[in-house]
A and B are shown apart, each in its own frame.
Chain A
Amino acid sequence: MTSHTEKIWNYLILTVMALIVLWPVGTFIAAAVSPDRAGRPSADLQWGNFLTAWTQAEFGRSMTVSLIIASAVVVLSVLLALLGGYAFGVLGVLADRFLFPLVLFGMMVSLEVIIVPLYYQFRTLGLTDNLFGVILIHTGMGVPFGIFWMRAAFRALPRGVFESAEIDGAGPFRMLWSIAAPNIMPAVYTLILLNFMWTWNDYFLSLVFLHGDNQTATVALGVFQGKYVTQINLMAAGGLIVAAPVLILYVIFQRKFISGMLAGAIKE
């Protein structure tokens, strides 16, 4: 029952805010397809900028590296989260009064606090400049959220789901894989999306750990923009290439991104 003028004001204020948010994005996109090296918008759309940026920055290689890391992290994280979430949510865990708070604590630990020893330890193990090392770190840091998220999903399942299988005398593994997991696929999809985004978007960890041929797309983009300061159009095209995978997923799965990130923040 909001009045007509109030509705118009609502739209007006929100639209102004939306335009401010979209302004940098819009000029960036315009720059990416501009023939002008300074990136001034032009009606003459140069789609070839994407190809030029792709070849000059060798995004083919760095995007492959990012894709390998993100895929491995997604698979490992989901596996560990299913096992851990089922344990904490359904089976119960010995000493969980101590272990579960310890897991939640991990959601607050930031990379900055652990990066120094992590780097020097991994260096002695020969795991720096090594995709496997980075995959392990991403996966390990994702364990707390994964367990937290999957535990909540399993606990929300109605008890009846398990009862018939219980009577059949199914073991915990069979219960998880054939009864519980198929029932929580929406939560699994959200976890996949979030893990993919976090890993793909990472800059700090990749910057510290990976160099040369092992550079991820985000780090390669950082290097590329440093080299091409005078060719803003190519830099913008490169930026859009790197942002594209997550952006496309966001267009399709907006709700899952928002709900997952909210749950991680509120931790309820």
Chain B
Amino acid sequence: MTTSNAGVAVPARTDDGDSSVTESITTAGSRRRRSSRARRRSRRAGLLFAAPGLALYAVVVLWPMIQSVQYSFYKWDGVTAAVWVGVRNYVSFFTDPVLRSTLGNVLILLVFFALLPIALGLLSAALIIRAKQPGMAVYRWIFFLPQVLTSVVIALLFKRMYAPEGPINEALRAIGLDAFAKNWLGDFTWALPAVGLIGTWVTFGFCMVLFISGAASVSTDLYEAARMDGAGPIREFFSVTLPGLRGQIAVALTLTITGALRAFDLIWITTRGGPGTATQTPAIALYKAAFVNPDVGQAAAIGVVMAVLCLVIALVITRVSEKE
């Protein structure tokens, strides 16, 4: 990422600020002074231009974030006076059996929200890249489609699929597997994987386009060399495509893992975190603590923990992917 750190001469744009630096070195002293004054004026105008957006961003995002930390040290029901409780809300997040179980649920969801979508995304991307056949745009359109559907509609699609008399159970009965037919979303064992598979369905198309765009920047020479060597589709994938996609895979991992941690809409509409707490995620616990049985400090603490976890995950993945 390139930040324009040296600023810009006059209203015109420079690439990285570098050219304005060289310009000021090569020109006469008087002009340099004038141009640096102009640049300062321009940067002041820039601050003025950016101010409305930055101010709103600060009020709506940054300030509440700081307040979240503050709230998290209090016990408050949203109405009566708040009581300072120190780090108790954080301790209870890791000791309360229900709250702690949300993290275990997220670990299982990771398989469906992160690993499977990335695997399927790689498979479909590899097929589409290698094929260069007519009709590939249609597949891309279909696989990406779930990304633009609103979560409520996705939840309804799958509530119907998983219903006791829904298409999945009907298909199972049609092929004689009646014993496997069940109320998927009401089953203590199966509800979580069932919800997870919705995540797979939604996410893999996004991973796919990410990988297709990444592979476009892999040099075609590498592919040609691989084919000259007589590499089949599988060897080509592992020796050319996959190494070339390391950056994209890191991005996909970051987004899908944090996505699993933050899963709310799909789960809230399909199961409300149930049966029991079988599909409860941190975001569901947060919503319940904030708005159903108000324990506002606890909700804020969950939010802070989620934010820290997301940040740590993003940093670790970036670090690891860049090191190799």
Cα of A112 to Cα of B263 in the assembled complex, Å: 10
**Stretch of B24-32, B46-54, B109-117, B172-180 with 4 or more beta carbons under 8 angstroms from chain A:** B46-54
Number of interface residues, chain A, beta carbon within 8 A: 108
Using A27-B161, A113-B303 as known contacts, say yes or no to A204 and B201 having CB atoms under 8 A apart.
Answer: no
CB < 8 Å neighbour of B43 from A39, A91, A113: A91
Chain A contact surface mostly: helix
Cα of A253 to Cα of B306 in the assembled complex, Å: 34
CB-CB under 8 A from B161, the residues of chain A are 23-24, 27
B149 touches A140 (CB 8 A): no
CB < 8 Å neighbour of A90 from B11, B48, B287: B11
CB distance from B172 to the nearest CB of A (A): 14
B148 touches A222 (CB 8 A): no
**A214-268, CB < 8 A from B:** 218-219, 221-222, 225, 232, 235-236, 239-240, 242-243, 246-247, 249-250, 254, 257-258, 261-262, 265-268
A225 touches B12 (CB 8 A): no
A116 touches B300 (CB 8 A): yes
CB-CB under 8 A from A49, the residues of chain B are none
CB-CB under 8 A from B306, the residues of chain A are 110, 112-113
A96 touches B296 (CB 8 A): no
**A1-54, CB < 8 A from B:** 1-2, 6-7, 10-11, 13-14, 17-18, 20-25, 27-28, 31, 38-39
B64 touches A118 (CB 8 A): yes
Cα of A103 to Cα of B50 in the assembled complex, Å: 11
**B68-115, CB < 8 A from A:** 68, 70-71, 78
Using A84-B50, A112-B262 as known contacts, say yes or no to A243 and B149 having CB atoms under 8 A apart.
Answer: yes
B128 touches A114 (CB 8 A): no
**A97-150, CB < 8 A from B:** 97, 99-104, 106, 108-110, 112-121, 136-137, 139-141, 143-144, 146-147
B50 touches A38 (CB 8 A): no
Number of interface residues, chain B, beta carbon within 8 A: 107
Instruction: Tell me if B283 counts as interface (CB < 8 A to partner A).
Output: yes
A139 touches B56 (CB 8 A): yes
CB-CB under 8 A from B163, the residues of chain A are 232
**A163-222, CB < 8 A from B:** 163, 166, 170, 172, 175-176, 197, 200-201, 203-204, 208, 218-219, 221-222
Cα of A88 to Cα of B296 in the assembled complex, Å: 38
Chain A interface (Cβ < 8 Å from any Cβ of B)? 1-2, 6-7, 10-11, 13-14, 17-18, 20-25, 27-28, 31, 38-39, 80-81, 83-84, 86-97, 99-104, 106, 108-110, 112-121, 136-137, 139-141, 143-144, 146-147, 154-155, 157, 159, 162-163, 166, 170, 172, 175-176, 197, 200-201, 203-204, 208, 218-219, 221-222, 225, 232, 235-236, 239-240, 242-243, 246-247, 249-250, 254, 257-258, 261-262, 265-268
